């Protein structure tokens, strides 16, 4: 049928607009006022009778009017704007006519079609072919964005949700909490969605996962997603995954060369480690046993060679003190070891900065094995949040505090913005070539942060 809206495209647009609080312009008829403030899903409240302008034409002429009427036809989900015309009592042409439904905003009468009169005259379509017809709209005739726009309080929207496989994950705000049942049912209409969840707590436990409340759909948390050409499977309720970090994952991998080596201290299910292992040697670690399980699974699923990736299930500090140190000392014995390109990622933004003091004195006990400072300086990529007015200064101060040194322009590679997390809260990456002075520091002279780690961690989580 001609002029039929492409519903899949419309739904994809809905994800974009809803996430940003913008209104869809696909249809111009609002739902009934009765839907405003709905807190329990009642789709029958969307039922609405409307009168729409139509043109009655012979079926063989519909295709010739497609281009001339493209700016006049009515577009609304699940409502074909070309329909069979009802037969009148005196009609002799059985089933030969069609009704083209027109937009009530642009067409009030036949005279509003004057700009296409030449095309209508050719097929003898005149004023008597114009009519107003009653239609009944239902919940299916509005896309999810329009539904939520008219249900929620004026000026409010559903923002900050992510799609992870068949799951939509919401961060409910205080004003949306009473509407969560309705929001869940509406978002279930998006293609391929089986489950809508909201987190019930912040990420404040050891394993970086959070409790989930199922708002609608199945209690099925095992998903498969694609990112940067790789496939990742995991149980979303037991591990951490953020689809908004795909660009940052790709950015770090592009820094690596074929002879680089990456130590991913907080690897999760592998979004840094798996693509990196296609380029270079990788040691990947996560404390969460579930993340470790899926990390191994994803390495096999993506056919990563066993000699390219080693997976560990350790605390990040222990990973640095054991695995990294052992490999680092082994590399030092190699010819031209000072030229090795070594990277360390620590993507645990609420806590990672407090962990980097592990590098203070890391080589102290092995100092006799190292001649002078002729050894490769690893590049640390550590992630953190900032709410400061000058976030670059804030991030730098905290990195310097936990490394116990003032960084010069040689060792500070960059402080890069990663993404906005919430109003006045952004995520940053500090990339630092760890100074030899830090690595060789006398353990008895380690410089501790001004505040205790527990106090610092509490502050970072706020």
For residues 122 and 124, give the distance between their C-alpha atoms in angstroms, rounded to a whole number: 6
Q: What is the pTM assigned to this prediction?
A: 0.81
How does pLDDT run across 245-260, given as a tens digit for each residue? Answer: 999 999 999 999 999 9
- 111 in helix, strand or coil? helix
Give whole-number Cα distances, 269 to 241, 242, 251, 285, 289, in Å.
8, 11, 18, 9, 10
In the CATH scheme, what is the code of domain 48-84+99-137? 3.30.70
**DSSP bridge pairs for 345:** 264, 381
- Residue 308 burial by Cβ neighbours in a 10 Å radius (0-12, 13-18, 19+): middle
Q: Which fold has domain 245-461?
A: Rossmann fold (3.40.50)
Residue ranges of domains in the chain: 1-45+139-220, 48-84+99-137, 245-461
In the CATH scheme, what is the code of domain 1-45+139-220? 3.30.300.110
Reading phi first (left if > 0) and then psi (alpha if -120 to 50, else beta), residue 336 is in left
Output helix, strand, coil percentages for the chain, rounded to the nearest 5.
Answer: 35, 25, 40
Task: Output the DSSP codes for 302-369.
Answer: TT--TTTEEEE-S-HHHHIIIIIHHHHHHHHTSTTGGG-EEEEEE--TTTHHHHGGGGTTTTGGGGGG
pLDDT at 109 over 90: yes
Between residues 94 and 310, the one the model is more confident about: 310
For residues 165 and 406, give the distance between their C-alpha atoms in angstroms, rounded to a whole number: 44
Please give the pLDDT value at position 371. Answer: 64
Give whole-number Cα distances, 334 to 279, 308, 327, 330, in Å.
21, 18, 11, 7
How does pLDDT run across 154-194, given as a tens digit for each residue? Answer: 877 776 688 999 999 988 888 888 999 999 999 999 999 99
Provide the mean pLDDT of the chain.
Answer: 87
How does pLDDT run across 55-89, given as a tens digit for each residue? Answer: 999 999 999 999 999 999 999 999 999 999 875 44
């Amino acid at each position: 049928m001609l002029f039929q809206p492409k519903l899949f495209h419309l739904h994809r647009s809905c994800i974009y607009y809803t996430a940003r609080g913008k209104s869809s312009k696909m249809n111009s008829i609002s739902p009934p006022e009765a839907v405003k403030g709905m807190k329990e899903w009642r789709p029958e409240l969307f039922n609405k009778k409307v009168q729409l302008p139509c043109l009655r034409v012979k079926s063989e002429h519909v295709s010739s009017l497609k281009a001339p009427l493209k700016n006049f036809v009515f577009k609304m989900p699940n409502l074909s704007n070309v329909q069979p015309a009802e037969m009148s009592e005196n009609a002799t042409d059985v089933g030969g006519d069609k009704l083209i439904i027109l937009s009530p905003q642009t067409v009030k009468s036949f005279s509003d079609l004057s700009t296409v009169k030449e095309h209508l005259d050719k097929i003898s379509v005149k004023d008597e072919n114009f009519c107003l017809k009653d239609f009944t709209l239902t919940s299916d005739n509005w896309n999810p964005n329009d539904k939520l726009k008219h249900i929620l309080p004026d000026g409010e929207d559903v923002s900050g949700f992510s799609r992870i496989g068949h799951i939509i994950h919401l961060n409910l705000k205080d004003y949306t909490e009473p509407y969560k049942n309705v929001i869940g049912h509406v978002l279930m209409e998006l293609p391929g969605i089986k489950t809508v969840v909201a987190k019930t707590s912040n990420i404040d436990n050891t394993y970086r996962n959070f409790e989930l409340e199922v708002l609608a759909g199945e209690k099925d948390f095992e998903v498969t997603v694609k990112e940067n050409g790789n496939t990742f499977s995991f149980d979303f309720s037991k591990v951490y995954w953020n689809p908004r970090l795909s660009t940052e994952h790709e950015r770090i991998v592009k820094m690596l060369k074929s002879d680089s080596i990456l130590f991913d201290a907080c690897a999760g299910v592998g979004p840094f480690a798996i693509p990196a292992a296609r380029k270079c040697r990788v040691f990947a670690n996560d404390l969460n046993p579930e993340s470790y399980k899926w990390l191994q699974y994803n390495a096999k699923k993506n056919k990563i060679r066993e000699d390219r990736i080693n997976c560990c299930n350790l605390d990040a500090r222990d990973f640095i003190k054991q695995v990294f140190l052992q490999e680092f000392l082994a590399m030092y014995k190699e010819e031209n070891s000072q030229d090795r390109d070594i990277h360390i990622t620590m993507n645990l933004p609420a806590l990672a900065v407090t962990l980097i003091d592990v590098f203070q004195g890391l080589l102290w006990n092995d100092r006799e094995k190292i001649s002078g400072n002729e050894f490769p300086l690893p590049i640390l990529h550590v992630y953190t949040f900032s709410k400061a007015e000058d976030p670059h200064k804030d991030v730098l101060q905290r990195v310097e505090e936990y490394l116990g040194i003032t960084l010069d322009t040689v060792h500070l590679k960059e402080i890069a913005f990663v993404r906005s997390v919430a109003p006045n809260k952004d995520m940053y990456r500090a990339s630092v070539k760890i100074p030899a002075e830090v690595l060789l520091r006398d353990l008895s002279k380690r410089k501790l942060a001004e505040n205790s780690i527990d106090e610092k961690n509490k502050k970072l989580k706020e």
